[in-house]
Chain A
C-alpha cells in the first residue's frame, strides 16, 4: 500500500522568510505526488504535482516542491512566506487500491506565517 508522512503537525515561520513543509512517501512503482492547501472551512486547492520529469516542480502562488527519489521526499517550499499562506497543507500520493487509483492524503501540516 502507498503511504505518505508529514512529520510536522505545525510549522511557524516569519513573514518574508523561506518556508518548508516536509513530506516523505512510500510507494511501489513510480510515485505520483501532490500538494494541496486548505483554508478554514474550505475544500482543498491544488498547488502542484510531480509525475515525471524535472525534480523541481513549480506550482501555484509561488510554491515549489523538490522530488528526491533517494530520500523518498517531496518537500514543499516557498522563498518568501506571506501571512496569507497560513493554512493547512496536505501532501498526497496516488493510491492504487481496489483496482482504481485515487489520492491518499497525509495527516496535514498547519502553516502559520507570523507578521
Chain B
C-alpha cells in the first residue's frame, strides 16, 4: 500500500458544526502533516506530527485541532469554522521527519464552510 487515504473527499459544514477529517497511511511512515491549500495558491503547512508527537503548529487557530491516535492515523477536528476556512485540506506522510524522503500526499478533502 503506497497511498495516503483521506476521508471524506468533500465536506460542507455550517459555522456551528463539529466535524473531523481523517487521514490514513499504511506505509510505516513516522511523520504526518496537514496542509491547507486555497484556490490557485500553494499548500501552507498547518501541523506536523513526528513519531505521533506534535512537532510543528504553525499558529493555526484553535478551531482546528489535530490528533494522531497512532502512527497510521491522523485526524483534524473542526469546530466553529469561518467561511474563509473553506479550502482543500491535504494530508501527507513521510518515512521520517527528515524531508529527504519527500512526502506522499493524499487527494485531499475539499471543505466548504457555509
Contact = CB atoms under 8 A, between A and B. Distances in A.
A107 B56 contact: no
B102 A46 contact: yes
A108 B42 CA distance: 6
A55 interface: no
B3 to A, nearest CB: 10
B48 interface: yes
A104 B103 CA distance: 12
Nearest to A44: B105
Interface string B79-114: 000000000101010000111101111111010000
Give the size range of B's interface with the partner: 20 to 34
Contacts of A67: none
Residue of A36, A90, A101, A107 with most partner-chain B CB within 10 A? A101
Contacts of B99: 32, 34, 94, 101-103
A107 B102 contact: no
A75 to B, nearest CB: 18
- 4 smallest CB-CB distances across A and B, nearest first, come from A43-B105, A105-B42, A100-B55, A44-B105
Interface of B: 4, 6, 33, 40-45, 48, 50, 55-56, 58, 88, 90, 92, 97-100, 102-108, 110
Interface of A: 32, 34, 36, 41-46, 49, 51, 90, 94, 97-108
